[in-house]
């Protein structure tokens, strides 16, 4: 709630969190509409005994503040008047202003379990929200979202009894399990069949018939788009790159309704994230003998898109939209933040709308579970790009949306700042930054070693030969691991794209792929065009 200084009353104007009422004729009936509106939005302050003049000035009136206070307490606990009392004694005070007493009522944002707060006995006619124009009646969509959010169990935990395992895209499940296997190499769940694995991560649950059925989270993460829309009619995912203003043109776009891919959340996140991260600077940093390519900005974008998904109301309209341009990124999801924006930015509080989905993402190291995700996003972005992050809630045409904007304002990445952030992620003794801030060729480390040795006049000693051999092996293992990680992240990736992403030659990529196939670590499924790579357990 905004801070308010009564001694400067004449300097204020009514706004989203401040309302003045004359109350000359007694306790005003319109008070409860504003009470409901503040409770259902971001809270606010109601001044009883204050007149708003034509020029917007606020002027205290002569009122019986003690009677107004008594009337307030008599009515706020009357459920026929208002659905919930969310204020404490300390929030209601009689205050002197210019020699006149007024009643100040501070209405907090209601906890989601108490929303909607409505006037009278009928939420359809008595639920209000606040915007720049004042109090307005909530739409049915807005009320429905508040009722869904009031549940103690997150909405994605719902077991869908009318669906079975056939709604899942097997390739998506396989891709997720590859991610899980790469982050949890020796985990016992790797030995489970798909049904038991999905049960343990929360993607399926036991229905009323005692059989396994998809949960809403499992359907969203792994289902086919046409199956998802059976439960979520408004479901829509959209990634747009370099959209022209005033026109529907893009240099790249992914939509869940195209029909040429699964259309589910997991596949969308992997593909959209790959595109979002393209073009980012990668300083040359080593941890031990291995290069660290997962920069703080890579992690930030992974966190941002995960947050958009786990806080989205997939029952809501207009879908989840991710936009990338030269100016930065814009992530917009249906639904408001379930806690106040200030609490979300401050961190330490986590209240995702899709708790099971967050668990599924966090198992492969996507997303935060400590309530510090948005806080971390703001700090890292501002440090690297020197521009603030903006997050806002919109309520246009009865549709609630949350918009996160990561604007570069034309600034380049501050590589020095990135290296300082690396220091928080890695042990400082392992940091070996190069002066070149662009991503070098993957052979550059070994090339430097070879050139140094070529300049030496004396023959290499046995120890130097062993050290050189070890470094060469480490480079090969590193390149192979990078190829594997790319195949896990994007099974449909082409050799030319691998070569481009890893800054290697196509012939080098082909050699690594052949080695992996010969060791039964991967196999090609389908034709060269239109097929995909499957990562197997190494023999």
Domain membership of residue 463 (yes or no) is no
- For residues 163 and 155, give the distance between their C-alpha atoms in angstroms, rounded to a whole number: 17
Which band of pLDDT confidence, cut at 50, 70 and 90, is reported for residue 244? low
Last residue of a domain, one of 387, 416, 445: 416
In this structure, the answer to whether residues 403 and 309 fall within a common structural domain is yes
In this structure, the answer to whether residues 116 and 162 fall within a common structural domain is no
pLDDT for 475 equals 41
Q: Lowest mean pLDDT of 276-285, 429-438, 506-515, name the range.
A: 429-438
CATH number for position 511: 1.10.10.10
In this structure, the answer to whether residues 113 and 198 fall within a common structural domain is no
Which band of pLDDT confidence, cut at 50, 70 and 90, is reported for residue 259? very high
> What is the per-residue pLDDT across 162-201, written as a single tens digit (0 to 9) for each?
999 999 999 999 999 999 999 898 899 999 999 999 999 9
CATH number for position 65: 3.30.950.30
Check residues 376 and 103 and name the one with the higher pLDDT: 103
In this structure, the answer to whether residues 297 and 376 fall within a common structural domain is yes
Checking if the pLDDT of 270 tops 90, the result is yes
Domain membership of residue 438 (yes or no) is no
Check residues 53 and 348 and name the one with the higher pLDDT: 53
Residue 514 CB neighbours (<10 A):
10
Q: Lowest mean pLDDT of 261-265, 288-292, 376-380, 433-437, name the range.
A: 433-437
> Residue 334: what are its φ and ψ, rounded to 5°?
-70, 140
In this structure, the answer to whether residues 100 and 160 fall within a common structural domain is no
In this structure, the answer to whether residues 120 and 169 fall within a common structural domain is no
Which band of pLDDT confidence, cut at 50, 70 and 90, is reported for residue 132? confident
In this structure, the answer to whether residues 188 and 258 fall within a common structural domain is yes
In this structure, the answer to whether residues 128 and 194 fall within a common structural domain is no
| Crossing angle (nearest 10°) for helices 506-518 and 462-489 | 90
Q: Are strands 390-396 and 399-407 parallel, antiparallel or unpaired?
A: antiparallel
> What is the per-residue pLDDT across 470-488, written as a single tens digit (0 to 9) for each?
444 444 446 787 888 788 7
Q: With beta carbons less than 8 A apart as the criterion, state whether 220 and 265 touch.
A: yes
Check residues 465 and 42 and name the one with the higher pLDDT: 42
Checking if the pLDDT of 444 tops 70, the result is no
- Helix H or strand E encompassing 332: strand 328-334
Q: Give the distance between the most distant pair of CA atoms in the chain.
A: 102
> What is the per-residue pLDDT across 45-91, written as a single tens digit (0 to 9) for each?
999 999 988 888 899 888 999 999 999 999 999 999 999 999 988 89
Check residues 456 and 409 and name the one with the higher pLDDT: 409
Domain membership of residue 30 (yes or no) is yes
**Domain extent at residue 98:** 6-138
Domain membership of residue 10 (yes or no) is yes
Instruction: Give strand pairing partners of 84.
Output: none
In this structure, the answer to whether residues 249 and 298 fall within a common structural domain is yes
CATH number for position 197: 3.30.565.60
Last residue of a domain, one of 138, 164, 186: 138
The string of DSSP letters for 435-491 reads: S--SPPPTTHHHHHHHHHHHT--SPPPHHHHHHHHHHHHHHHHHHHHHHHHHHHH-T
Which of 130-139, 230-239, 464-473 shows the highest mean pLDDT?
230-239
Average pLDDT (82-101) is: 91
> What is the per-residue pLDDT across 293-327, written as a single tens digit (0 to 9) for each?
788 899 899 999 999 999 999 999 899 999 999 89
Domain membership of residue 428 (yes or no) is no
Number of independent structural domains in the chain: 3
Average pLDDT (351-363) is: 91
Q: Reduce the DSSP state of residue 190 to 3 states and report it.
A: helix
Check residues 264 and 441 and name the one with the higher pLDDT: 264
Check residues 316 and 346 and name the one with the higher pLDDT: 316
pLDDT for 267 equals 96
Checking if the pLDDT of 442 tops 50, the result is no
Q: Lowest mean pLDDT of 118-127, 277-286, 354-363, 365-374, name the range.
A: 365-374
Check residues 494 and 234 and name the one with the higher pLDDT: 234
> Residue 339: what are its φ and ψ, rounded to 5°?
-115, 175
Checking if the pLDDT of 437 tops 50, the result is no
Checking if the pLDDT of 285 tops 70, the result is yes
Average pLDDT (450-458) is: 39
Domain membership of residue 160 (yes or no) is yes
Checking if the pLDDT of 455 tops 60, the result is no
pLDDT for 85 equals 92
Average pLDDT (234-247) is: 81
Share of the chain above pLDDT 70, in %: 83
In this structure, the answer to whether residues 333 and 276 fall within a common structural domain is yes
Which band of pLDDT confidence, cut at 50, 70 and 90, is reported for residue 343? confident
pLDDT for 459 equals 44
Q: Are strands 237-241 and 92-97 parallel, antiparallel or unpaired?
A: unpaired
In this structure, the answer to whether residues 391 and 249 fall within a common structural domain is yes
Q: Mean pLDDT in the chain?
A: 82
What long-range pairs does 71-80 form, CB within 8 A, spacing at least 24?
71/26, 71/27, 72/27, 72/31, 72/103, 72/105, 75/27, 75/32, 79/121, 80/120, 80/121
In this structure, the answer to whether residues 293 and 386 fall within a common structural domain is yes
Domain membership of residue 433 (yes or no) is no
Checking if the pLDDT of 125 tops 50, the result is yes
Checking if the pLDDT of 469 tops 50, the result is no
Domain membership of residue 150 (yes or no) is no
């Amino acid at each position: 709630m905004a801070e308010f200084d009564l001694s400067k009353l004449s300097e204020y104007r009514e706004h989203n969190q401040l309302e003045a009422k004359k109350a000359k004729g007694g306790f005003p009936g319109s008070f409860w509409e504003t009470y409901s509106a503040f409770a259902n939005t971001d809270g606010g302050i109601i001044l009883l005994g204050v007149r708003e003049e034509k020029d917007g000035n606020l002027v205290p009136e002569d009122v019986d503040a003690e009677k107004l206070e008594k009337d307030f307490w008599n009515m706020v606990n009357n459920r026929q008047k208002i659905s919930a009392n969310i204020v404490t004694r300390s929030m209601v005070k009689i205050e002197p202003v210019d020699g006149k007493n007024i009643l100040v009522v501070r209405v907090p944002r209601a906890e989601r379990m108490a929303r909607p707060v409505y006037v009278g006995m009928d939420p359809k006619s008595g639920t209000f929200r606040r915007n720049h124009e004042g109090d307005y009646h909530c739409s049915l969509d807005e009320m429905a979202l508040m009722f869904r959010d009031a549940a103690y169990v997150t909405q994605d935990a719902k077991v869908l009894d009318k669906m079975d395992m056939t709604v899942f895209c097997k390739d998506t499940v396989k891709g997720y399990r590859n991610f899980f296997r790469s982050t949890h190499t020796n985990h016992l769940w790797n030995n489970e069949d798909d049904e038991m694995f999905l049960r343990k991560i929360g993607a399926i649950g036991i229905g009323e018939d005692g059989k396994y059925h998809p949960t809403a989270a499992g359907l969203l993460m792994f289902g086919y788009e046409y199956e998802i829309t059976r439960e979520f009619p408004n479901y829509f995912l959209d990634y747009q790159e370099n959209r022209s203003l005033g026109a529907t043109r893009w240099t790249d776009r992914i939509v869940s309704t195209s029909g040429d891919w699964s259309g589910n959340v997991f596949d969308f996140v992997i593909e959209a994230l790959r595109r979002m991260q393209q073009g980012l600077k990668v300083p040359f940093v080593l941890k031990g003998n291995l290069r660290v390519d997962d920069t703080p900005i890579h992690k930030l974008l992974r966190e941002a898109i995960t947050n958009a998904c786990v806080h989205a109301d997939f029952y809501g309209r207009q879908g989840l939209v991710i936009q990338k341009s030269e100016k930065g990124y814009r992530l917009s999801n249906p639904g408001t933040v379930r806690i106040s924006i200030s609490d979300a930015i401050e961190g330490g509080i986590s209240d995702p709308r899709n708790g099971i989905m967050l668990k599924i993402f966090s198992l492969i190291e996507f997303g935060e579970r400590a309530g510090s995700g948005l806080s971390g996003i703001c700090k890292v972005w501002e440090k690297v790009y020197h521009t603030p992050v903006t997050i806002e809630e919109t309520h246009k045409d009865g549709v609630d949306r949350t918009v996160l904007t990561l604007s570069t304002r034309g600034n380049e990445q501050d590589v020095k700042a990135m290296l300082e952030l690396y220091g928080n992620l890695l042990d400082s003794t392992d940091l070996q930054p190069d002066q070149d801030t662009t991503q070098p060729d993957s052979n550059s480390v070994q090339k430097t070693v070879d050139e140094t040795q070529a300049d030496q006049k004396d023959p290499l000693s046995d120890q130097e030969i062993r050290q050189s051999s070890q470094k060469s092996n480490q480079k090969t293992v590193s390149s192979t691991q990078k190829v594997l990680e790319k195949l896990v992240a994007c099974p449909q990736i082409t050799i030319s794209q691998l070569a481009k992403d890893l800054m290697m030659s196509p012939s080098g990529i082909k050699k690594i792929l052949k080695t992996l196939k010969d060791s039964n670590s991967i196999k090609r499924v389908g034709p060269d065009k239109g097929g995909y790579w499957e990562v197997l357990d190494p023999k």
